[in-house]
Structure formats: structure tokens, C-alpha cells
């Protein structure tokens, strides 16, 4: 049986890590703060993957972000996905060469030529498509570029479009629930076609292990990502994983 995955997402800009609430950023601390509050040996045992996102609007921050990727690959012996500012094959190569295992693409998700170049170089499985959305009375509006630009594809067509892209999996991230810690909004799941084959990473709303448990019980969800640094400080991630395994969620047992 294919295992579910618990993923920890970190937002990075100009030497600092950030919390996000409805896509509004709040600075939390630098790498030293992160290391003090999250024992990386525990993180390695608590999650299946880390996603690092470069949320800076400054193109010159790419090299600085690459240094952070390198630092994480030395500290954490689990897969690392990196995203943000992937506008060319050259940037994709820099992230992979810095130690990233996969690439998260949001703003340029529907640029087929770029995706083909990356897929031909690193394989489709190396690309994680990231899709941000808002739920307005059960009508879903999709966005890119940190939630600032609307994507003009209707809900009934979005998953057919995604299915044809050379990508390995999809992140569905709720802007409404982002950083609220109020739990997940599962409304969009009923819009996913039954024959949709790409694995779904669900994000936006996790506040405790019970929220994670509710999400993992959904057959449409393969993985869950949490980006709320304050909800899982100390051994919070480790304890959440233990509780999920006790509830028979099919996570890999690292400890």
C-alpha cells in the first residue's frame, strides 16, 4: 500500500522564515531561530519531506535561497522540494544542484514549454505543481504569484488541464484557510474527477493533529503540508505523527 506523507513547508525571504495567514506574511526568525525551536534530528523522524519556498519578490534572492537549500540538505536527511522564482531551466538547475530533490512551480505552472524543458532534464516526477485557490460560495477561483494574479481557468476545466501537464503531483493550497489553524476546507475535493491520477498534497488550515487526521481520511488526499511554524514547535510534529499512526493512518514509521 502506498504510504501517506506528512510534509513541513517553510517560507523564506532575505535570511528569515515567515508565517503566512491568508497569504499575508509575518516574519518569525532566521535560520538560528528555526534550529533552536526545531530539532532537525526530530524533524527528520517526524515528517516525510520538507518544502522550501522562496517567497521573495526580489530576483536577486535566488542565490541566497540556494545557500539555504544547501544548508538544509546538510541537516535533514529527507527529501527536499524547493520552489519560488522558477522561471527558467537555469533556475531549476540551480535548485537541484543545491540539493533539492523536486521543484515546486506555481507562477509558471501553465507555461508548457518551461515544464517540458524541466521534465526532459529531471523527469516529470521532479515537478510539483502548486495551485492556490479561494472558495467563494463553492465557486473556486485560482491564483498564482503569491495569490496576486487570477488564473482564468474554470473549476470544471482546471483538473483536466493539470492532468495533461508533465508534472508528478499537485499542491492544492487554500488561501482562505492559510495560516488560520481552523482546519481544512474540503469543498474542492468533490470537484476532482474520479479518474484524476496525479497525487494531491493538501495545504491550508492545519492547526493540530486532529485536523491532519481528518484530512488523511479523505481518499483524494495523498499528502498533507503544514506551514504553521508556531503550531508544531518543539516536538509538536513528532507527537502529531505518533498520534496519526495510532489512528491507523498509513504513514511510514521512522521511529
List, by residue number, the catalytic residues.
132
**C-alpha cell read off for 168:** 508528478
What residues pair up with 26 in beta bridges, in sequence order? Answer: 19
Distance between CA atoms of 170 and 222, rounded to whole angstroms? 10
Residue 33 three-state SS: helix
Residue 31 three-state SS: helix
Other CB atoms within a 10 A radius of the CB of residue 87 amount to 15
Distance between CA atoms of 66 and 10, rounded to whole angstroms? 14
DSSP 94: H
Cell 473556486 found at: 140
**C-alpha cell read off for 200:** 494531491
For residues 15, 183, 181, 199, the Cα torsion angle rounded to the nearest 10 degrees is -10
Q: Which of 144, 72, 117, 62 is nearest to 95 (CA)?
A: 62
Q: Dihedral sign for Cα 233, 220, 188, 103, please.
A: positive
Amino acid at each position: 500500500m502506498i504510504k501517506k506523507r506528512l510534509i513541513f513547508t517553510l517560507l523564506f525571504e532575505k535570511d528569515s522564515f515567515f508565517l503566512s495567514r491568508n497569504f499575508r506574511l509575518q516574519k518569525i526568525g532566521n535560520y538560528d531561530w528555526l534550529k533552536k525551536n526545531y530539532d532537525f534530528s526530530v524533524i527528520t523522524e517526524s515528517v516525510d519531506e520538507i518544502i522550501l519556498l522562496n517567497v521573495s519578490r526580489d530576483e536577486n534572492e535566488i542565490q541566497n535561497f540556494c545557500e539555504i537549500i544547501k544548508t538544509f540538505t546538510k541537516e535533514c536527511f529527507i527529501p527536499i522540494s524547493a520552489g519560488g522564482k522558477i522561471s527558467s531551466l537555469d533556475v531549476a538547475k540551480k535548485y537541484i544542484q543545491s540539493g533539492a530533490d523536486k521543484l515546486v512551480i506555481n507562477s509558471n505552472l501553465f507555461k508548457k514549454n518551461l515544464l517540458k524543458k524541466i521534465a526532459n532534464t529531471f523527469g516529470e516526477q521532479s515537478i510539483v505543481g502548486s495551485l492556490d485557490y479561494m472558495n467563494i460560495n463553492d465557486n473556486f477561483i485560482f491564483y498564482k504569484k503569491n495569490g496576486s494574479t487570477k488564473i482564468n481557468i474554470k473549476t470544471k476545466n482546471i483538473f483536466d488541464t493539470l492532468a495533461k501537464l508533465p508534472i508528478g503531483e499537485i499542491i492544492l493550497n487554500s488561501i482562505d484557510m492559510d495560516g488560520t489553524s481552523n482546519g481544512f476546507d474540503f469543498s474542492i475535493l468533490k470537484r476532482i474527477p474520479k479518474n484524476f491520477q496525479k497525487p494531491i498534497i493538501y495545504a491550508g488550515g492545519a492547526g493540530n493533529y486532529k485536523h491532519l487526521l481528518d484530512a488523511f481520511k479523505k481518499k483524494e488526499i495523498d499528502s498533507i503540508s503544514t506551514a504553521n511554524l508556531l503550531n508544531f514547535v518543539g516536538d509538536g510534529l513528532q507527537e502529531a505523527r505518533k498520534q496519526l499512526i495510532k489512528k491507523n493512518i498509513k504513514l511510514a514509521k521512522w521511529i
